């Protein structure tokens, strides 16, 4: 009887299956991490607070304290507007990178638009915000990587190169964005909290509240306003923690970019993906 011999092409196909399977699972893991990172970073758009808003709030608080009634708010907020613009540029770069990473992991073309980087950064003091040369260089480097990925038709085979080129600048930008969110903006809210406290203490000490109803109403208004400020502070803190987890996860991804096995990569990134998803859930609860 003639023995059956598997065809060479069949043997090659069977041998290649574990490799293909490995690649798919790895890329799914990268996709899950980048998708969670993108969703978390986008929560920045849901935070109803900015440097300009802080500037306007400060003017309003001063006008109320001095019993001023003006037709328009006369506030000088130009530097705060610039600080918001720079923050938006940094945010766009980070969000664009992780969205591109997600696209590549799904074998799709990146779609980072060149007009997204028209606003260049420069080292400067912008009111409450300081932009260092290190941040400027990181933005420029990451922007070039994103634009190359868009124009050179990066696909799955280029994902390692994409991660490799982007890690250093994305770490710098994530760190800067975390400082803006968790230190600068949150610090402005602390000033707002102190102004609120001083305002109501002055009202109480001036004896302008005569009836019991006025006193109770003033106390209720104060704690309602305080609760709104504290909720916003928690939102900023949660987003700041998410950025920290994303930075750590991407560093692990970079460190293992050339030895991505199914077991190792899944184990390395799963905890960071889970942490980011938990923080997303925590952020969402604050906005329910």
Residue with token string 């634009």? 147
- Contact, 139 vs 121, CB < 8 A? yes
Mean pLDDT value across residues 241-252: 94
Residue 234 confidence (pLDDT):
93
Q: How many CB atoms lie within 10 A of CB 263?
A: 9
Q: How many CB atoms lie within 10 A of CB 243?
A: 26
Residue 22 confidence (pLDDT):
39
Residue 4 confidence (pLDDT):
47
Q: Which band of pLDDT confidence, cut at 50, 70 and 90, is reported for residue 287?
A: confident
Give backbone dihedrals phi and psi of 259, rounded to 5 degrees, phi first: -140, 55
Residue 267 confidence (pLDDT):
67
* pLDDT, tens only, 192-243: 999 888 888 877 777 666 678 877 888 898 899 999 999 999 999 999 999 9
Radius of gyration of the chain, Cα coordinates, nearest whole angstrom: 25
Boundaries of every domain in the chain: 21-181+240-286
* pLDDT, tens only, 120-165: 666 676 767 888 888 888 888 888 888 776 655 555 567 788 888 9
Residue with token string 């938006």? 88
Residue 204 confidence (pLDDT):
76
Beta bridge partners of 131: 124
Residues whose CB is less than 8 angstroms from the CB of residue 115 and which lie 6 or more positions away in sequence, other chains included: none
Helix (H) or strand (E) holding 93: helix 78-105
Residue 61 confidence (pLDDT):
83
Residue 155 confidence (pLDDT):
58
Give backbone dihedrals phi and psi of 2, rounded to 5 degrees, phi first: -80, 125
CA 288 – CA 283 distance, rounded (Å) = 9
Burial of 116 (0-12, 13-18, 19+ CB in 10 A): middle
* pLDDT, tens only, 90-110: 999 999 899 888 888 776 655
Secondary structure of residue 116 in the 3-state scheme: helix
User: CA dist 178 to 91, 153, 189, Å?
Assistant: 10, 31, 16
Q: Which band of pLDDT confidence, cut at 50, 70 and 90, is reported for residue 63?
A: confident
């Amino acid at each position: 009887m003639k023995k059956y011999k598997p065809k060479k092409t069949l043997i090659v196909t069977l041998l290649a299956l574990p490799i293909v399977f490995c690649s798919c699972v790895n890329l799914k893991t990268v996709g899950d991490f980048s998708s969670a990172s993108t969703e978390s970073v986008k929560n920045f758009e849901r935070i109803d607070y900015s440097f300009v808003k802080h500037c306007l709030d400060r003017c309003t608080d001063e006008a109320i304290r001095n019993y001023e009634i003006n037709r328009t708010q006369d506030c000088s907020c130009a530097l705060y507007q610039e600080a918001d613009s720079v923050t938006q540029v940094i945010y766009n770069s980070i969000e664009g990178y992780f969205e591109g990473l997600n696209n590549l992991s799904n074998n799709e073309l990146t779609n980072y638009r060149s007009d997204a980087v028209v606003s260049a950064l420069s080292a400067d003091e912008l009111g409450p915000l300081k932009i260092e040369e290190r941040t400027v260089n990181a933005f420029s480097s990451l922007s070039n990587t994103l634009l190359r990925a868009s124009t050179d038709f990066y696909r799955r085979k280029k994902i390692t190169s994409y991660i490799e080129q982007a890690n250093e600048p994305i770490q710098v930008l994530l760190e800067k964005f975390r400082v803006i969110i968790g230190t600068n903006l949150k610090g402005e809210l602390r000033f707002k909290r102190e102004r609120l406290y001083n305002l109501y203490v002055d009202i109480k000490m001036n004896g302008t509240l005569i009836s019991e109803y006025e006193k109770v109403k003033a106390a209720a208004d104060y704690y309602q306003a305080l609760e709104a400020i504290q909720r916003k502070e928690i939102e900023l803190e949660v987003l700041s923690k998410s950025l920290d987890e994303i930075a750590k996860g991407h560093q692990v991804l970079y460190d293992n970019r050339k030895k991505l096995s199914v077991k190792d990569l899944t184990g390395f990134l799963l905890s960071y993906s889970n942490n980011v998803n938990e923080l997303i859930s925590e952020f969402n609860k604050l906005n329910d």
